[in-house]
Amino acid sequence: MADQLDLYVSSDELDPIADAARGLHDELTEHGRMAESDERTAGEALSAHRFATGRSLTLLAEGWSRQVDDLLNDCARISGHLDQTVSAHTELEYQIQAEFHQIQRSTSAYDRIVALAGVTDPTPTDPPPTEIDWGKA
């Protein structure tokens, strides 16, 4: 087995990205909705006094809430995907290596090349016997 896998993915490279996604998720969870109740309360109060901006403020609060939810889901998805990437690539690399080792157990280099190409053996078996016409007429 080689010192470094061909499909090598470093957790040192991916962990900071996953950590940043988790950090953003935590910050949004804590601070993303701080003004939401005040916005809704203000929107309802303005609407009660027949100000058109009341409905706009309420819609803004609802839109902001949906955006926070979407961003929270995306951060969780990114973090989870990157956490699984290193192990998935390592597993795939070992699977590919096992297949190559199985192919290398073939009897000849020709057999290995044919196996890697994924084709059946293109060499003909025995040539058909030659028929001789002895003058049958």
Instruction: Taking residues 66-72, report their average pLDDT.
Output: 95
Give yes or no for a contact between 47 and 58, defined as CB atoms under 8 angstroms apart.
yes
What is the chain's mean pLDDT, rounded? Answer: 81
Considering the domain boundaries, does residue 66 fall inside one? yes
The model's confidence at residue 1, banded by pLDDT at 50, 70 and 90, is: very low
The model's confidence at residue 107, banded by pLDDT at 50, 70 and 90, is: low
Considering the domain boundaries, does residue 132 fall inside one? no
SS3 sequence, the chain? CCCCCCCCCCHHHHHHHHHHHHHHHHHHHHHCCCCHHHHHHHHHHHHHCCCHHHHHHHHHHHHHHHHHHHHHHHHHHHHHHHHHHHHHHHHHHHHHHHHHHHHHCCCCHHHHHHHHHCCCCCCCCCCCCCCCCCCCC
Considering the domain boundaries, does residue 34 fall inside one? yes
Shortest CA distance to 71 belongs to which of 15, 16, 11, 23?
Answer: 23
What pLDDT, on the 0 to 100 scale, is given for residue 74?
A: 95
Query: What pTM, to 2 d.p., does this model score?
Result: 0.58
pLDDT digits (tens, 9 = 90+) for 9-51: 777 888 899 899 999 999 999 999 998 889 999 999 999 999 9
Please state the domain count of the chain: 1
Domain of residue 21: give its range. 13-117
